[in-house]
Amino acid sequence: MSTPSANNPLFADLDVEIFPDHPIGQETWYAVGGHADMMLRPRTTEALSKIVRRCNESEVPLRILGSGANLLVADEGVGGIVLKLDHPHFREVSYNLEGAPELIRAMAGADMQKTMHETVKRGLGGLEQMAGIPASVGGAIRMNAGGAFGEIADSVHAVACLDRRGETVVYPREALKMDYRTTNLPDAPILWATFELKDRDPLNLRERMREIFLYKRKSQPMADKSAGCAFRNPTDPATGERVSAGMLIDRANLKGRSIGEAEVSERHGNFLVMRTGAGKATDLIRLIDVIKEEVSADSGIELQTEVVIWDRG
């Protein structure tokens, strides 16, 4: 089904801001790519719930735009509806849930780094492994974000999603399967997540957080226009062990390889950067394809993208 128009009655009665033909590519960390036919910014859970239900009933595709740190939007843009959960309601973080100081709830639009910093300040350990990983809480949960120091699954207590009817379904920790960059959550909007943290010395937590930041700063091109790791670390079919995608890219002599303004970082092979603001998403997509082909030819290992690519397909 085509995207509803801005004055379509499908959303006219809801507490929502409507942005037709919105340049979502510019809201990603790459700052390239096309427009969304329509972006919606709901202000309440009730409005979000009704949007989800109506889109499913009308068979209108629905996507969630988080922080844009792990996203590449194709130059032709995307159809359907793009949701942006950045209203203050969806960025709230609640502490001391049910009288338990170690239990917090973060709405899906909450900033992961701000949330992590606040928990460290309060002497609550369990999220400091997320230092230096830009994401909304919902995006981090969806891909089980993490790195060498741990992943968000380490502290997840429960996750709430909206089903096709727009109703809230809560998945407790024991129902969740959160593996390397994947979860068993349904393809549905995440509403909030709770985290069970631990009482720790704030000074020790701050030092640990600083160590992780410094490690990332030394090894990754954090100042460049990038979306973090472009590829997942694959499993070597010969050994069954996970290997570094950056190492495979380096061994294939791909550091510095460029197409248009897109380039494989000289600092870390698994980071693709835009050298100037004049590049196109097509440059990055073509470079991703070249990397996959040449790594496969060099090592026999197939790379899978970690960065999410949105197009009209």
User: What is the per-residue pLDDT across 51-71, written as a single tens digit (0 to 9) for each?
Assistant: 999 999 999 999 999 999 999
Q: DSSP characters for 88-124?
A: GGGG-EE-SGGG-TTEEEEETTSBHHHHHHHHHHTTE
**pLDDT at residue number 3:** 77
CATH of range 221-310; options 3.40.50.300, 3.30.70.270, 3.90.78.10, 3.40.50.11540: 3.90.78.10
What is the arithmetic mean of pLDDT over 217-236?
Answer: 84
pLDDT digits (tens, 9 = 90+) for 154-171: 999 999 999 999 999 999
Is 293 labeled as catalytic in the residue annotation? no
- pLDDT, residue 9, reads 72
CATH class of the 16-87 domain in this structure: alpha beta
Whether pLDDT at 18 is above 60: yes
| Confidence label for 226 from pLDDT (cuts 50, 70 and 90) | confident
Q: How far apart are CA 92 and CA 43, in angstroms?
A: 12
- Per-residue pLDDT band for 280 (boundaries 50, 70, 90) equals very high
Q: What is the mean pLDDT of residues 263-278?
A: 90
User: What is the number of other CB atoms lying within 10 angstroms of the CB of residue 20?
Assistant: 14
Q: How many CA atoms lie within 13 A of 231 on its CB side?
A: 29
Listed residue (144, 148, 100) closest to 124, CA to CA: 100
Contact predicate 161/188, CB 8 Å? yes
Q: How far apart are CA 196 and CA 67, in angstroms?
A: 24
β-strand partners of 159: 171, 193
Among 91-95, 181-185, 225-229, 289-293, whose mean pLDDT is lowest?
Answer: 225-229
- In the annotation, is 174 catalytic? no
The whole-angstrom separation of Cα 141 and Cα 182 is 9
DSSP 312: -
What is the edge-to-edge ordering of all strands in the sheet holding 93-94?
Answer: 93-94, 103-107, 190-196, 156-162, 168-172
Domain map (residue ranges) of the chain: 16-87, 92-204, 221-310
218: confidence class by pLDDT, cuts 50, 70, 90: confident
Q: Which of 181, 206, 275, 286 is catalytic?
A: 181
Q: Quickly state the pLDDT bin for 223 (edges 50, 70, 90).
A: low
CATH no. for 92-204: 3.30.465.10
As a whole-number percent, the residues of the chain with pLDDT over 70 amount to 97
Length of the chain: 313
> If pLDDT is split at 50, 70 and 90, which confidence band does 119 have?
very high
Helices 112-121/202-219 angle, 10° precision: 150
Asked if 294 is an active-site residue, the reply is no
Of 161, 200, 229, 263, which one is the catalytic site residue? 229
Whose tokens are 């917090």? That residue is 104
Please give the pLDDT value at position 5.
Answer: 65
Pairwise CA distance, residues 285 & 282, whole Å: 5
Mean pLDDT of 67-87: 96
Residue 276: pLDDT band by 50, 70, 90 thresholds? confident
* pLDDT tens digits, 251-264: 999 999 999 999 99
Whether the predicted pLDDT of 1 surpasses 60: no
